[in-house]
Structures are given as structure tokens and as C-alpha cells.
């Protein structure tokens, strides 16, 4: 389906703001079909629409179909966020540096010279190359922003404004655009100008203080949780701003910091720091408030066991032959077990070490005790549950180079969230977008190429 703003011609600004209807009304009409309700419930929800969308017989259009996202991000946090938006149906136009592209195009592993790292974060996006330090490049970027619904950037605060592409400039031209900024420390505060990568956010946000073995040194979480948590919060903010725009017609500036996002994920560490005498620290696989809730070595590997309440504790003791432990006053309640975790671990460890992981998993699952193997990545990608949920998808570029990447965990009853499986080469869509969106002719495009703007 054509985006409403695809009729844009040079000299015009977004069509949404040149017609005689509220911007929110036009946006709603463009993003989803108009439904005339037969009846409304007291809460305002129309029953005809509810019945239509609850039926799985005919999948509805993707939630963000018709939404245009201008992606000025690179490496991880920003690209991961815009990839989620693409999975939800948005048209994502990724702006990259001519000749070089996103930094992650140089990150391994590689498949016949093509970065699989880049592909895992940028599948399903169009690629346009623009030199944003040049006047023609900035002009083209702003004209693309005039037609966009969302702009996402993850430069250090002040960089986009210094280029004349900041929130104030873009909002003045396109008041309905949602402008989303992701940075290490946010747009405000004493650290705002500092550079940051994931490891910095994990370290400064306290995540390393609670990750690793009890008497070991700092350990970075294996996945880039500083980047990924910021990406998820960024998507949340973007969707909230788009929803708000339906009633106000105005976009908003979404400001998400990696450091803030890590702190937001500290779970109960902050309240424990306030209420307990000992500061939260590293516990290995153990939980600070639930016991047993950790990994145990078996005769051929490791499993995790999570007895989250007294009933599960009793089931665990019954099936492991450790029934005597339920009569031990040191382990009478979860609070007791946590206070005496060392003694409890010492009692259970020899029991688990006596049998294989597979044997224990069958025994524990039959008893309803939450548990699982400690899988390596090879086991993960071959797990039947992962296959059943279609969490691995094969992507390919236009040269036919293909490999598997993680899919989307989003499942909608309407079938509206679908991972896209193509990967654009650097600048693959530049001419198409300049011609079709900005109305440029071949001579104008060639002039930009000669100037190394594209």
C-alpha cells in the first residue's frame, strides 16, 4: 500500500499539515482502515471492531503499516529499536555514510565478505547513503524527515543539532514527527556529553556489581544489555508518542539513555541497598531473595532449579530423596533457606552430581519443579521449542548470501508482526528514494554522486 506522503513533491511539506483535517485524523486514516462501529461499549470500544480484530481467520494489516521511520542510527541500540519497528510493519529508511555505512558493517562474523552482525540488526530496512555534513545531504535528509512519522538517532547529544537536524529544526518543519534520541547518558545531566558503549553503561549502571561469581571480579553480561534495554525502552517511548499523536496531532521528543535503562533493570537491587545492611553484590547464578534458585552441576553438565515457593521446595526434596531437609529448621521457609544458602547448596550439590542432566530434568519436570538445562548456543539453535516458535529466520542479501539470525519474539493473534528476511546492501535504495520520495531526476542524482553526497 502506498504511504499517503508518497505524493510529496519538491517544495511541499508533509501533506498531513496542508489539508483541512486534524493531523491525528489523517494519521489514523492512513495507518489503519476506517471502521464504522455498529455499537460501542460503555468504555468506548466498538464491538464490531473488537469482533473483527479478534478473529484469526483473516490476519489484519501490520500494526505500523504505512508508518515511515527515518533511521539515523548505527551499531546496536538504535538499529535494534528500528528493526523492531520494521518487524511491526513500518517502512524503515536507514541513512548511512557514503562508502562506509554503519560502523557495524565492518564487524564480524562475515559471510562471503558481508557482515552477519550488521544483518542481524538491520534486516528489513531500506538503505540510503547521504553525507549529512554536506548541505545537499542535509537538505535531502530534512526533506525525507518532512514525510516521516518517526526519526530515530543515536548520536551523542548535540551532534544532530549541530548539523541543523535536531529536534527543534525538524519539529518546526514537521510538527507531527516523533523524534527519538538514544544516547549513553541522555540529553541532560552532567554526563550528557560523554561517549558511551554498552560496557560503560553496564559498569556505571551497577549491572557488573551484581553479575559474576561471589568472590570474582567484574563481569559483563554476555549480551549487550545496556544497548538492548535502551532499544526496548526507545521502542516503548516511540509507540507511546505515536499513540498520543492520534489525539493531539503533535509529535514528541523521546529521550532514552543507556545508563538510565540499565538502572531501570536492576530489579530489587536498589530497594535492597536501601533496606539491608550489606550492599547487593555478585551471587553467581543464585538469587538474592529466593532459594534454591540457581545452577547445580550434574554428572555431565549443569541444570538450573527454581523452587520459588515452599510447595515447590517440598516437591524438590521429595523427588531428589532429600525429604529430611524439609524438617531442618534452617530451611523451614524461603527466608530461612536464603539466610542459610551455603548449607543448603552443600546438601543439594552432591545429590545433583550423582545423575545426568537429562535424568534430573525428567524427574524434576514430572514433579512440576521449574528447571532447565544450561544450554550452549548450539543447543539453543537446535531446540525444538525455538523451532516451534520460529525464533530463527534465514536472511539474504541481493547477492544471495544467506544465514540464520534471531527472529522476533512478538506474537499477535492478528499475525501482524512478521520478521523481514532481506538485508539491504549499502546505499541499495538511494536512487529509488531520491527519485520517488524527493522527485529528483537522474541528472540531479548524478550531480549528488559526483559531489560524493550519496
Which residues neighbour 50 within 8 Å (Cβ) at sequence distance 6 or greater? Answer: none
Q: Is the Cβ–Cβ distance between 262 and 202 less than 8 Å?
A: yes
Contact yes or no for 173/142 (Cβ under 8 A): yes
Report yes or no: 69 and 82 within 8 Å, Cβ to Cβ: yes
The CA distance from 431 to 160, in Å, is 24
Pairing state between β 392-396 and 402-406: antiparallel
Exposure of 234 by Cβ count < 10 A (0-12 exposed, 13-18 middle, 19+ buried)? buried
Active site residue 287: yes
The terminus-to-terminus CA distance of the chain in angstroms comes to 27
Residue whose grid cell is 500500500: 1
Residue tagged active-site, from 287, 302, 315, 429: 287
With H, G, I as helix, E, B as strand and everything else as coil, classify residue 215.
coil
Phi-psi region of 159 (alpha: psi -120 to 50; beta: other; left: phi over 0): alpha
Q: What is the 3-state secondary structure (H, E, C) of 284-337?
A: CCCCCCCCCEEEEECCCCEEEEECCCHHHHHHHHHHHCCHHHHHCHHHCCHHHH
Q: Which residues are catalytic?
A: 287
Amino acid at each position: 500500500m502506498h504511504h499517503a506522503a508518497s505524493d510529496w513533491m519538491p517544495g511541499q511539506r508533509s501533506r498531513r499539515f496542508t489539508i483541512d483535517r486534524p493531523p491525528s485524523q489523517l494519521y489514523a486514516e492512513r495507518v489503519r482502515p476506517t471502521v464504522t462501529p455498529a455499537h460501542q461499549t460503555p468504555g468506548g470500544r466498538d464491538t464490531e471492531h473488537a469482533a473483527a480484530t479478534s478473529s484469526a481467520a483473516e490476519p489484519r494489516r501490520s500494526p505500523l503499516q504505512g508508518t515511515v521511520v527515518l533511521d539515523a542510527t548505527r551499531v546496536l541500540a538504535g538499529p535494534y529499536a528500528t528493526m523492531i519497528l520494521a518487524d511491526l510493519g513500518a517502512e524503515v529508511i536507514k541513512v548511512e555514510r557514503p562508502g562506509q555505512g554503519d560502523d557495524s558493517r565492518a564487524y564480524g562474523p562475515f559471510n562471503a565478505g558481508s557482515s552477519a552482525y550488521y544483518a542481524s540488526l538491520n534486516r528489513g530496512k531500506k538503505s540510503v547513503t547521504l553525507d549529512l555534513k554536506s548541505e545537499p545531504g542535509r537538505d535531502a535528509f530534512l526533506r525525507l524527515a518532512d514525510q516521516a512519522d518517526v526519526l530515530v538517532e543515536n548520536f551523542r547529544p548535540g551532534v544532530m543539532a549541530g548539523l541543523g537536524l535536531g529536534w527543534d529544526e525538524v519539529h518546526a518543519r514537521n510538527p507531527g514527527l516523533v523524534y527519538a534520541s538514544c544516547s549513553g547518558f541522555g540529553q541532560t545531566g552532567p554526563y550528557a556529553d560523554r561517549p558511551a558503549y554498552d560496557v560503560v553503561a553496564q559498569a556505571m549502571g551497577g549491572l557488573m556489581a551484581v553479575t559474576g561469581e561471589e568472590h570474582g571480579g567484574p563481569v559483563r553480561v554476555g549480551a549487550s544489555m545496556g544497548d538492548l534495554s535502551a532499544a526496548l525502552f526507545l521502542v516503548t517511548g516511540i509507540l507511546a508518542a505515536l499513540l498520543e499523536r492520534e489525539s493531539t496531532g503533535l509529535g514528541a521528543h523521546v529521550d532514552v539513555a543507556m545508563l538510565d535503562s540499565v538502572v531501570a533493570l536492576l530489579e530489587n537491587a536498589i530497594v535492597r541497598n536501601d533496606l539491608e545492611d550489606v550492599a547487593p553484590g555478585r551471587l553467581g547464578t543464585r538469587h538474592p531473595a529466593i532459594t534454591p534458585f540457581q545452577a547445580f552441576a550434574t554428572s555431565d553438565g549443569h541444570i538450573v532449579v527454581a523452587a520459588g515457593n515452599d510447595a515447590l521446595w517440598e516437591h524438590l526434596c521429595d523427588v531428589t530423596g532429600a525429604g529430611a531437609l524439609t524438617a531442618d529448621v534452617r530451611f523451614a521457609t524461603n527466608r530461612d533457606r536464603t539466610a542459610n544458602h551455603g548449607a543448603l547448596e552443600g546438601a543439594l550439590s552432591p545429590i545433583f552430581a550423582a545423575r545426568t542432566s537429562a535424568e534430573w530434568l525428567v524427574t524434576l519436570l514430572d514433579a512440576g519443579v521449574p528447571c532447565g538445562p544450561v544450554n550452549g548456543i548450539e543447543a539453543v539453535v537446535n531446540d525444538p521449542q525455538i523451532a516451534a516458535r520460529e525464533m530463527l529466520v534465514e536472511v539474504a542479501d541481493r547477492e544471495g548470501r544467506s544465514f540464520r539470525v534471531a527472529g522476533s519474539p512478538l506474537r499477535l493473534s492478528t499475525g501482524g508482526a512478521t520478521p523481514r528476511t532481506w538485508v539491504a546492501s549499502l546505499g541499495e535504495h538511494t536512487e529509488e528514494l531520491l527519485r520517488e520520495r524527493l522527485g529528483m531526476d537522474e541528472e540531479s542524482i548524478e550531480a549528488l554522486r559526483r559531489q560524493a553526497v550519496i
